[in-house]
Amino acid sequence: MPAINSLKTLTATSVLLGLSGLASGVASADYSDEVVRIGVLTDMSGIYTDLSGEAAVTAVHMAVEDFGGEVNGIPIEVIHGDHRNRADTGASRAREWYANEGVDMINDLSNSGVALAVAAVADEQQRHAIVNSASNIGLTNDYCSPFVTHYTYDAYSLAQGTGKSIVEDGGNTWFFLTVDFAFGIGLEEQVSDVVREAGGQVVGAARHPLDTTDFSSYALQAQASGADIIGIASTGADAINAINALAEFGVIPEQRPAALLLWYDDIVSLGLETAQGLLLTNAFYWDANEETREFSQRFYERTGRMPNMAHAGNYSSTMHYLNAVEAAGTDDPTAVSDKMRELEINDFFATGGYIRPNGRMVHDQYLWEVKSPDESEYDYDFLRPVHTIPGEEAFQPLEASSCHLLDND
């Protein structure tokens, strides 16, 4: 009997606690549990740690501090977690955060697989998710949600940036080295479309497994294809190894590589000697102007590294979310979502940026070229601007989106 008794007590206590929770919820209906809680869900220990990871958490902290640590008198809290590059781990962590830990918004979300899984949870739980470090355009198409924002870049903008520029520059025939999963194949498709539209030709592709270390045989296949351009539809370590192998086997400079998603950090890793002349589409570069330098300097002092576009996007999107909460006077997800889509984004990251109904944040993208070692004058002086791709061109036209929130049928 004691067991049953204690069970009863426990049940009664939970009911009471639940009721008191409800009561306090009613008392301050404007802000759920009297705190605005932001979760940074990122890769803290795997292959994408350098692209977001710990530094992404710092970027979000910086935004909260710069905002003043509270919104309309309500404190802002930041927590973080590791998705280990597994969609299931990411989704269950997100569900726990939203449902049990009162997280109002999840940021960063590197890895397209994780981002798609968390977006589904955000939609179901009606809480916010902002994707800064993944590229899959499904987030603003079939899997779009009023609560999901795709902020920094996507596969479409990469194709419009690097792909289009190279075709216009006379790169007529293309051969792809593609990482064999949704991200690489999607990117290859986007760029192939751009190439064909511009009258170019795709002569072939080699698919390699994720995390391939030896690209030598792919380098030979690329060489044998005779294509002008070797399109590298992968990122991080895979892209670095591919470029290294192309250089080693003398494929470069006879044929030109086009790294379709290259990060600032990849340049650090490749070294300017190998990377010089590469083109990359990035939404942000630390040394672009006075404002970016100011932010980057502060970021550098905290982390010992320069921010990449995902870090800058994490900062900017957190700021935008908090501005929306402040303007709405509540953290109610629907009200905040409306405000986020209403307010314009003007900071060091974006000028005149705005969020479309399908969740796509539209802002200018930039094509950069990697400097040669001789041109680089100081530490981290790596990139030269080539041209700006206006936001409206850089992102998929709204009428082409298959998002169910639009009337595109």
Partner 1 sequence: MDIFGIPIQALLGQLMLGIVNGSFYAVLSLGLAIIFGVLKIVNFAHGAFFMLGAFTAFLLAQYMGASYWVTLFIAPLAVALFGMLFEFLFLRRLYGLDPIYGLLLTFSLVLVLEGGFRVAFGSSGQPFATPEQLRGTINLGFMILPIYRGFVIAAALTLCLITWFIIERTSLGASLRAATERSELTQAFGINVPRLITLTYGVGVGLAAFAGVLAAPIFHVNPSMGSSLVIIIFAVVVIGGLGSIMGAIVTGLGLGVVEGFTRVFYSEFSSTIVFLVMVLVLLLRPAGLFGREEG
User: Using CB under 8 A as the criterion, which residues of the chain lie in contact with partner 1 when the complex forms?
Assistant: 45-51, 53, 180, 206-209, 211-214, 216-218, 220-221, 223-224, 236-237, 240-241, 244, 248-250, 265-266, 268-271, 274
Least distance from partner 1 to the Cβ atom of residue 241, Å: 6
Least distance from partner 1 to the Cβ atom of residue 316, Å: 23
- In order of 33, 41, 75, 104, 335, the CA distances from 96 in angstroms are 16, 12, 21, 12, 23
Closer residue to partner 1, CB minimum distance, 50 or 326: 50
Closer residue to partner 1, CB minimum distance, 181 or 354: 181
**Looking at this protein, which amino acid is placed at residue 209?**
P
- Distance CA(373)–CA(388), nearest Å, equals 24
Closer residue to partner 1, CB minimum distance, 46 or 102: 46
- Distance CA(12)–CA(43), nearest Å, equals 41
Least distance from partner 1 to the Cβ atom of residue 19, Å: 45
**SS3 of 280, please?**
strand
Of 111, 107, 106, the C-alpha closest to 96 is 106
- Distance CA(361)–CA(152), nearest Å, equals 7
CA dihedral 317, 323, 324, 329 (to 10 degrees): 150
Closer residue to partner 1, CB minimum distance, 25 or 250: 250
Closer residue to partner 1, CB minimum distance, 186 or 333: 186
Least distance from partner 1 to the Cβ atom of residue 47, Å: 6
Least distance from partner 1 to the Cβ atom of residue 58, Å: 14
Closer residue to partner 1, CB minimum distance, 237 or 327: 237
Closer residue to partner 1, CB minimum distance, 71 or 252: 252
Buried b (16+ CB within 10 A) or exposed e, 167-206: beeebebbbbbbbeeebbbbbbebbbebbeeeebebeebb
Closer residue to partner 1, CB minimum distance, 45 or 408: 45
63, 36 in Cβ contact below 8 A? Answer: no
How many separate helices (H) and strands (E) can be counted in the chain?
A: 15, 15
Tokens standing for 281? 């589409």
Least distance from partner 1 to the Cβ atom of residue 43, Å: 8
DSSP-derived letter for residue 33 is: G
Least distance from partner 1 to the Cβ atom of residue 51, Å: 8
